[in-house]
């Protein structure tokens, strides 16, 4: 785990910002900070990391973060472990609410508008927001262009192997339909 000091940080205290105008920000971590983020996110490599946008006052005490995240990441292919390079360009949006009421209970229904709302912190670390947004934007199953999974077939000696197509629930219906159609055609010809 990298030293927390090597991770990118930009601390903003919303209470110290003007409540009348947007606060612009840009984070472009250097090589050492990118290496630390890559280690935290278990990436092979991370280049051209950039996070820029605005923190806009909303209402009396709430804030709206609107930004663009850009990065070039290198991950392991899930099939071959070969390096897979992906360019990420994602919009990032968060709403920080001073009177945020966290949902209670074990099961909570989220409304579509609620997915970007968070409680307003006393100090907002834009570096942490950037790392979180990058983690959410990463391809979950990176795959090299030439990677193929193939088909594994296992069975007892002397038996016919069960294949993926045999397990599809409607695979046999096409054969049944064709057999019934052929039977209907032969019946029609005999009349």
pLDDT band at 135 (very low <50, low <70, confident <90, very high): very high
Model-level pTM? 0.71
Q: Which two tokens stand for residue 99?
A: 């009177």
Q: Which two tokens stand for residue 154?
A: 């296992």
Structure confidence by residue, pLDDT tens digits, 103-121: 676 776 665 455 678 888 8
> Pick from 6, 8, 4: which is nearest to 125 by CA?
8
Residue 152's Cβ-side half-sphere holds a number of Cα atoms within 13 Å equal to: 2
Give the mean model confidence (pLDDT) for residues 64-73: 96
Tell how far CA 67 is from the center of its chain. 17
3-state secondary structure of 33: helix
The strand pair at 124-125 and 117-119 is best described as unpaired
> Pick from 142, 100, 146: which is nearest to 119 by CA?
100
Give the mean model confidence (pLDDT) for residues 153-177: 73
Per-residue confidence (pLDDT) for residue 149, from 0 to 100: 65
Structure confidence by residue, pLDDT tens digits, 41-53: 999 999 999 999 9
Give the mean model confidence (pLDDT) for residues 161-165: 71
3-state secondary structure of 144: coil
CA–CA separation, 29 vs 45, rounded Å? 14
Tell how far CA 96 is from the center of its chain. 21
Least reliable range by pLDDT among 56-65, 80-89, 146-155: 146-155
């Amino acid at each position: 785990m990298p030293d927390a000091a090597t991770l990118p940080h930009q601390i903003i205290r919303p209470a110290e910002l003007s409540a009348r105008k947007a606060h612009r920000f840009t984070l472009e971590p250097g090589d050492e900070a990118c290496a630390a983020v890559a280690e935290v996110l278990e990436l092979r490599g991370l280049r051209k990391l950039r996070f820029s946008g605005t923190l806009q006052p909303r209402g009396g005490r709430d804030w709206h973060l609107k930004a663009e995240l850009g990065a070039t990441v290198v991950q392991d292919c899930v099939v071959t472990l070969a390096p897979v390079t992906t360019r990420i360009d994602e919009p990032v949006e968060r709403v920080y609410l001073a009177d945020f009421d966290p949902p209670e209970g074990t099961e909570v229904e989220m409304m579509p508008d609620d997915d970007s709302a968070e409680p307003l912190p006393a100090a907002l670390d834009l570096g942490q927001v950037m790392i979180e947004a990058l983690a959410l934007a990463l391809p979950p199953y990176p795959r090299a262009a030439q990677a193929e999974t193939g088909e594994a077939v296992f069975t007892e000696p002397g038996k016919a192997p069960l294949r993926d197509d045999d397990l599809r629930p409607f695979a046999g219906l096409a054969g049944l339909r064709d057999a019934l159609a052929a039977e209907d055609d032969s019946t029609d010809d005999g009349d």
